Structure 1
Amino acid sequence: MSRRGLLALFLLLASCKRTEPAASAVPDAGAGEVRPAASSVRDAGSAAQAVGSAPDASVAEVHPLAVCDARGGSPLNAARNYYDGGQYEEALSCAAQAAALDPDLAAAHAERGVALAALGRESEAQLAFARALAIDPGDAESLLGAARLYAVQMESTRERDELGVLYAERGLSQPSTPPELIPELALVAAMAFNDLGQADEALARAAIVLAREPGNHEAQYERALALFELCRFAEARKAFGALLDDPERAAHVHQHLGLLLEREGKWKLAQGHFDKARELSPEDFPEPPLPSQEDFRAAVAQAVAGLSSDMRRDLKGVPVDTEELPSDADLLANQPPLSPTILGLFRGPSLSEPCDGKETPCRSVVLYRRNLARAVRTSDELREQIRVTLLHEVGHLRGEDDEELAARGLE
Structure 2
Amino acid sequence: MILSCSGWACTRLISVSKVPGGNPVALADPENYAIQFKICEDCGSYFCDRCHAPGSRLRAPRCASCGGKLAPGTKLERLSGRPRPAEVEHHKRGVELVKSGRPDEAIREFDAAVALRPPYAAAHHWRGIALTEAGRPGEALAAFETALRLNPSDVASHFEKARALTRTENTAAAIAAYDQAIAVQPGYPAPRINRAILLMDGGRDADALAAVEQAIALITGGRAVGAGRYDLASAHSVKGAALVKLGRYEEALPAIDYAIDNGPDSWNDHYNKSYALERLGRIEESEIARGIADSLRNS
Place the TM-score, normalised by the shorter chain, in its bin: 0.5 to 0.7
Residue 135 of structure 1, CA deviation = 5.2
Superposed, 1:141-290 pairs within 5 Å as 141-151=156-166, 154=167, 157=169, 160-174=170-184, 182-196=188-202, 197=204, 198-199=207-208, 200-211=210-221, 212=224, 216=231, 217-245=233-261, 248-282=264-298
Q: Deviations over 1:204-259 (max 9, x none)?
A: 23433454458632223123223334444323111212334568444212211122
Residue 281 of structure 1 aligns to a residue in which SS?
Answer: helix
Q: Which has the higher contact order (CA 8 A, sep 6+)?
A: 1
Distance 2:100 2:295 in 1: 34
Once residues 243 and 202 of structure 1 are traced to their aligned partners in structure 2, the CA distance between those partners, rounded to angstroms, is: 13
Q: CA deviation at 1:201?
A: 2.0
Aligned length: 207
What value does the CA root-mean-square deviation take over the aligned residues?
3.5
Which aligned pairs between 1:5-16 and structure 2 lie closer than 5 A?
none
Q: Do structure 1's residue 88 and structure 2's residue 88 form an aligned pair?
A: no
Q: What amino acid sits opposite 1:260 in the alignment?
A: A
Structure 2, unaligned stretches of length 5 or more?
1-8, 10-83
Compute the displacement of 1:149 (Å): 2.2
What amino acid does structure 2 have at the position aligned with 1:94?
A: E
What is the aligned-residue identity percentage? 24
Inter-partner Cα distance in structure 1 for 2:190 and 2:265: 18
Q: Secondary structure at the match of 1:203?
A: helix
Q: Tell me how far apart the structure 2 counterparts of residues 206 and 163 of structure 1 sit (CA, whole Å).
A: 24
Query: Would the aligned equivalents of 2:250 and 2:280 in 1 still touch at CA under 8 Å?
Result: no
- State how far apart, in whole Å, the 2-side matches of 1:281 and 1:114 are: 27
C-alpha distance in 2, partners of 1:171/1:121? Answer: 22
Partner of 2:38: none
Normalised to the residue count of structure 2, the TM-score between the two structures is 0.56
Would you say the 8 A contact 1:189–1:205 is kept in 2? no
1:131 is displaced (CA, Å) by: 3.7
- Normalising by structure 1, we get a TM-score of 0.43
The letter of the residue matching 1:191 is: I
Query: Does structure 1 retain, via aligned residues, the 8 Å contact 2:88–2:113?
Result: no
Highest CA radius of gyration, 1 or 2? 1
Q: Which amino acid aligns with 2:193?
A: L
CA displacement 1:295-352 (0-9 Å, x = unmatched): xxxxxxxxxxxxxxxxxxxxxxxxxxxxxxxxxxxxxxxxxxxxxxxxxxxxxxxxxx
Q: Hey, what's the Cα distance between the residues in 2 that align with 1:92 and 1:106?
A: 15
* Structure 2 CA distance for aligned equivalents of residues 226 and 89 of structure 1: 37
Question: Using a 3 Å threshold, how does the CA distance of structure 1 residues 94 and 132 change in structure 2: closer, same or farther?
Answer: same
Q: Judge conservation of contact 2:106–2:130 (CA < 8 Å) in 1.
A: yes
Pairing 1:9-408 to 2, within 5 Å after superposition: 73-133=88-148, 137-151=152-166, 154=167, 157=169, 160-174=170-184, 182-196=188-202, 197=204, 198-199=207-208, 200-211=210-221, 212=224, 216=231, 217-245=233-261, 248-282=264-298
Q: Please name the residue that 2:33 is paired with.
A: none
